[in-house]
Every structure is written in structure tokens, then in C-alpha cells.
Amino acid sequence: MQKRLKDCRVAVVGLGLMGASLCMDLTRGGLCREVRGIARRTDTVLEAFFSGAVDLATNDLNTGVLGADIVVLATPVRTILSMLEEIGPLLWPGCLVIDMGSTKAEICAAMERLPHGIQPVGGHPMTGKETAGFSAAEPGLYQGAPWAITPLARTSQESLDLAHELVHAVGAQPILLTPQRHDRLVAAISHLPYLAAGALVHAVTNLGDQDPLVWDLAAGGFRDTSRVAASDTRMFLDILMTNREAVLDQLDAMLSHLQSLRAALADGDECELNRRLSASQARRSAWRPRTRP
Amino acid sequence: MQKRLKDCRVAVVGLGLMGASLCMDLTRGGLCREVRGIARRTDTVLEAFFSGAVDLATNDLNTGVLGADIVVLATPVRTILSMLEEIGPLLWPGCLVIDMGSTKAEICAAMERLPHGIQPVGGHPMTGKETAGFSAAEPGLYQGAPWAITPLARTSQESLDLAHELVHAVGAQPILLTPQRHDRLVAAISHLPYLAAGALVHAVTNLGDQDPLVWDLAAGGFRDTSRVAASDTRMFLDILMTNREAVLDQLDAMLSHLQSLRAALADGDECELNRRLSASQARRSAWRPRTRP
């Protein structure tokens, strides 16, 4: 018989922006039987419990996942990888293990090594903010967001359906794909923007060291283009180090285009500049984001 | 005696996003004696008049600026340059000519050639949107925005005060600087973000040609980092072509940083990646934009 979300004890490991926002949606909506939050730091455990974001909070992984029907791993990628090596013996047979990590190939490979009987599914909600931690969490974060789902060959249809139910329950839209395809696509739309934003901030910082007025003059264009550079560095190091080849490919595509723009500008080749900039203008204007405005 | 804004007939040439938003603020607030809008296209003239954004609308430059106390040039940079060659004989002595162009060195050089008696001041409000035209205009666009002001040696204190009054009247904050300094700073915070956003869209488009799912998965990070790539190409070609050296300098600073990030990632040099990304993270987190959120 299909297990339903409302009958499930859900244990969320990691109460940062992503994990805590999920807990808040589950608790407020009464979407499942019990919401448990597991965090490393005691003050996060206390804050999660007393804010009402979870029914039960602990910093003991063993206690937290005991008897859980769904375990959601919501930490940086390499912490997920090391947890997947340890967590197996603590889980009940049939337990759905889903993660919220930003890269999927290495995580899904580690999921393959979970004990027989455990039901792993890779996941990655495509939303976020440049602010991190429990204090940045908010209900409704996932409303309208695409949520990548990467099942394994061993994942049962029932468990995949339960994962879909969880995603739909918080208002997100599941998109099914392989881990490798996921990693290739997010290299372009998430990891490359992060590196570009960081390089932009670097250039402005350089100039600002000579003329600090640049920071007073900077407005909406710089604000938006550089926003993701303020993201948690630790989280992004994990992402970059577990998706190096795909990121290098995308970075090379961007570098090559910037070099062409540079050459056209240096030569005063307005026709070539116009051709390249118009193509990007048309493509970007035609695109409509699926997330909240 | 100091001329006050409330006694002035203000003629705004160009009724796109910037010019029309300024008209709306002036008209709604009753901030001056008369607001005139001059636009090339007849449908814009009619729309501006019947929406109440201006007291008088025309597509005849001569009629529009006749007897105006303040003329605001709010078209793309190279249109401003050609207007400055023609407009002199149409203006009254003592008339303040201020522009809203995105680069200042070439415009201020052309302003020097205006007939004796005309009072030119360069200006550049540091706000905007990726959408253009009269339909994108809105009251309050300048609220809280930095507004660069580049006076000429010939500009009288009275005219500079009047320019400041205009800027303050719509809620913006004047920042006084030289045209060359302005152009160097905006190369980093406005023109470089535009090129970076365009190159990012190019990389995603390339990948999207093989796998269109990338557009469904793209979310807030890509949305914000790429937003300015949707800006009016014509406007930005004028900007780039009138600020080539400063833009090339900033582009080189960004390219060099991206190359270093690439090398560190290819070598798996996590320490170097961390050092560079943490520096950008700290700088971007510490910065607070002065414009509206």
C-alpha cells in the first residue's frame, strides 16, 4: 500500500535555509505526522524547537532518525556524502532518504551504497537566497520552484511517488532527470553565475581600493548581478569540488564569449558587438523564471 | 536671484524609462511650473499627454524647448551627442541643460561647445530597469537613487544649485564628480555587469541548444545574475562605444580573476578557491545598496 506523507515521520538533517524552510512548511501545513529537526549546533536545535518549526529537535543524529519514514539530508554536499556513509544502520527498512544537495552525481553514487531496503532518491530544490542559516529560513520558500528529482535504479515507484508528494506538498514542481544531466545543467545556471558574480565583485573591489566612491554609486545592476557572490562559501566549495568538469566546461564557454566581446570592443567592431549583445538580449527577454518574482 | 524649480518650465527630451519617470514625478508632485515631453514617435507623444505624465507633449524639438528654463536630455548617449550639436540656437540664455546619459566624458566635451550663456551640467541617475520605453516608466523611480552630477568649469553656482534641487526633488541623492571619474566607476558597476550577464546568457543558450530543460530548471540565481542582459542593446552600444578604454580595463580585471578561478578549480586547489571566493563573499555581504530594495 502506498505510504502517504500525512502518515510519515519526517526527519530533516540540517536546519539551515533549505532544511528549516522545509520544516516550517511541513509543520505549519500539518502536512505530515511529525517533523523532526536535527542540527549540529545546540542553539539551532533550541531555536528550531521553540520557534515551532519542528515537533522535535535534537543534535543527536541517531535519536533524530530513529523510526523516521522520510529522512531529508539538508546540509552542504560533502557533509551529505559523509552522512550517507554512516547513516545506513540507523534507518528503518523502507525509509525514504532524499537529499537537498546542490550536486547529484557523487551523492547518488553514495546513495547506491546504502543498505538494501533503504529507498534513496536524489533531490535539489532550485531556489535559495544569498543568506544562509536558520534565521534566513521562511515558510513558502519552495512555492513555485522547480525541484530536481534524481531517482536511482533501486528506487521503488512507491518511494518515488512519496518523494513527489513531498515536493508537491510544499508547492514546488518536480523535474525528473539523471544525476549527470542535473549536474551539467546546474553548472550553467547556478555554479557559473556564482563564479561570474565573484569575479565581478573582485573587479569592483580592485577599483574601490583606489576610489571607494564606487560603492556609493553602485545601484541595481551591480546589486543583482553580484548578489549570489554573497552566498555561503563553504556550501559553494562543496558544489564546485563535486562538479569540477561540468563547471570548467561552462566557465570556458563564458570566458570565450567574454574574450570575443573584448576583441570586438577593442576593435570598435560595433556590428559584432551588436550581433552578440542582441542575441543575449533576445534570449534573456524571452525567458520567464518559474520561481517567485 | 536664484531660480527655483517651482518657477521653471522643464522640457524633457526623450520619453523612455528615464525621461518619462522624471516627468511623472515632476507632474504628480507639482514640482515645477510646466512639464513638457518631447518624443520622436507620435504614439509616445500621445501616450505621454493623455496619461497626464506631461502638461505639453510634442515631437517637435524646437517647439518643445522654446522658452524652457531647464532642458533634460534623456535619450541614448549618442543621440544626446548629436542633439547637443543642434540644440544651442533653440535655447534661451541662462537655460540649464542637464542630461541623463550613461557616460559623461564625451557628453561633457560636447556641452563645452554649447553657445555662451547656456548652462550645461552632466547628470546620470544610477537606477534603471532591464525594461525600456514609456510603458516601463513609473513614478518614484529615482527615490533613494544616487545621481551623478558632473558640472563643467563654465557652469554657474546658481545652475548647479538648480540641478541639485531637481535631483533632490525626485528623492535622489546627488554625487558630484568629474566626467572621467564617473566613466571609470560606472565601467565597473554598470558596463561590466552588462557584459558579464550577456556572456552568462550566451553560455546557458549554448547548453540550452543541446538540452532545453536548462531553461525550466533556471531559478533565482540565474534570473538575477543575468537580468541586465535584457537591457536595451542600442542604449548599451552607445555606452560601450563612448567608454571603451575604461570598460576594457574592467573587463580585463574580471577576465584575469575568472582565469585564476579556472586554474584553481582545474588543479583542485581548494585553498586558493576558498581564498578568492571568501574575499568576494565578505565584500559583497558588507555592501548595502543605496537604491530601493
pLDDT tens for residues B132-184? 899 999 999 999 999 999 999 999 999 999 999 999 999 999 999 999 999 99
Considering chain A, tell me which residue range(s) the CATH 1.10.3660.10 domain(s) occupy. Answer: 182-286
Between CA A100 and CA A107, with CA A101 as vertex, the angle to 5 degrees is: 115
What distance in Å separates residue B145's CA from the closest CA in chain A? 7
Residue A97, classed as helix, strand or coil, is: strand
Average pLDDT, chain B: 95
In the A/B pair of chains, how many CB contacts fall below 8 A? 309
Residues 108-167 of B with CB under 8 A from A: 126-130, 145-146, 148
Residue B288 confidence class, pLDDT cut points 50, 70, 90:
confident
Mapping DSSP onto H, E and C, the string for B45-56 reads HHHHHHCCCCCE
Please state the φ and ψ torsions of residue A12, each to the nearest 5 degrees: -105, 120
Residue B219 confidence class, pLDDT cut points 50, 70, 90:
confident
Residues B88 and B111 sit within 8 Å (Cβ to Cβ) = no
Virtual torsion, Cα B161, B165, B168, B172, nearest 10 deg: -70
Can you identify the CATH homologous superfamily of domain B7-177? Answer: NAD(P)-binding Rossmann-like Domain (3.40.50.720)
Q: Kindly state the cell numbers that stand for A65.
A: 532518525
Looking at residue B94, the DSSP 8-state letter turns out to be T
Which listed CATH number (3.40.50.720, 3.30.365.10, 3.30.70.260, 3.30.2130.10) goes with A5-177?
Answer: 3.40.50.720
pLDDT higher than threshold 70 for residue B293: no
Q: Residue B154 to residues A202, B86, B117, B150, B158: CA-CA distances in angstroms?
A: 38, 19, 9, 12, 12
pLDDT higher than threshold 70 for residue B30: yes
Residues 45-104 of A with CB under 8 A from B: none
0.90 cut: is pTM over it?
yes
Name every residue whose Cβ is closer than 8 Å to that of residue A117 and which is 6 or more positions away in sequence.
A93, A94
Please list every residue in chain A whose beta carbon sits closer than 8 Å to the beta carbon of residue B197.
225, 280, 284
Task: Give me the count of residues in chain B.
Answer: 293
From the list B62, B47, B55, the residue with the least C-alpha distance to B15 is B47
Residue A56, classed as helix, strand or coil, is: strand
Q: Kindly state the cell numbers that stand for A278.
A: 542582441
**Predicted local distance difference test score (pLDDT) of residue B206:** 96
Residue A184, classed as helix, strand or coil, is: helix
| Residue A193 forms contact with B (CB below 8 Å) | yes
Hey, what amino acid is at B240?
Answer: L
From the list A178, A176, A193, the residue with the least C-alpha distance to A247 is A193
The ipTM of this complex is 0.91
Virtual torsion, Cα A100, A106, A107, A109, nearest 10 deg: 150
Considering chain B, tell me which residue range(s) the CATH 3.40.50.720 domain(s) occupy. Answer: 7-177
Q: A268 — alpha (psi -120 to 50), left (phi > 0) or beta?
A: left
Q: How far is CA B82 from the centre of its chain?
A: 18
pLDDT higher than threshold 90 for residue B131: no
Q: Residue A147 forms beta bridges with which residues?
A: A125, A174
- Cα gap A163→A10, rounded to integer Å: 12
What distance in Å separates residue B103's CA from the closest CA in chain A? 13
Considering chain A, tell me which residue range(s) the CATH 3.40.50.720 domain(s) occupy. Answer: 5-177
State in words which class domain A182-286 has: mainly alpha
DSSP secondary structure of A119-152: EEEEEEES---S--SGGG--TTTTTT-EEEEEE-
**Nearest chain B Cα to A268, which residue?**
B241
Please list every residue in chain A whose beta carbon sits closer than 8 Å to the beta carbon of residue B143.
none
Tens digit of each residue's pLDDT, chain A (293 residues): 789 999 999 999 999 999 999 999 999 999 999 999 999 999 999 999 999 999 999 999 999 999 999 999 999 999 999 999 999 999 999 999 999 999 999 999 999 999 999 999 999 999 877 788 999 999 999 999 999 999 999 999 999 999 999 999 999 999 999 999 999 999 999 999 999 999 999 999 999 999 999 999 998 899 999 999 999 999 999 999 999 999 999 999 999 999 999 999 999 999 999 999 999 999 999 998 765 44
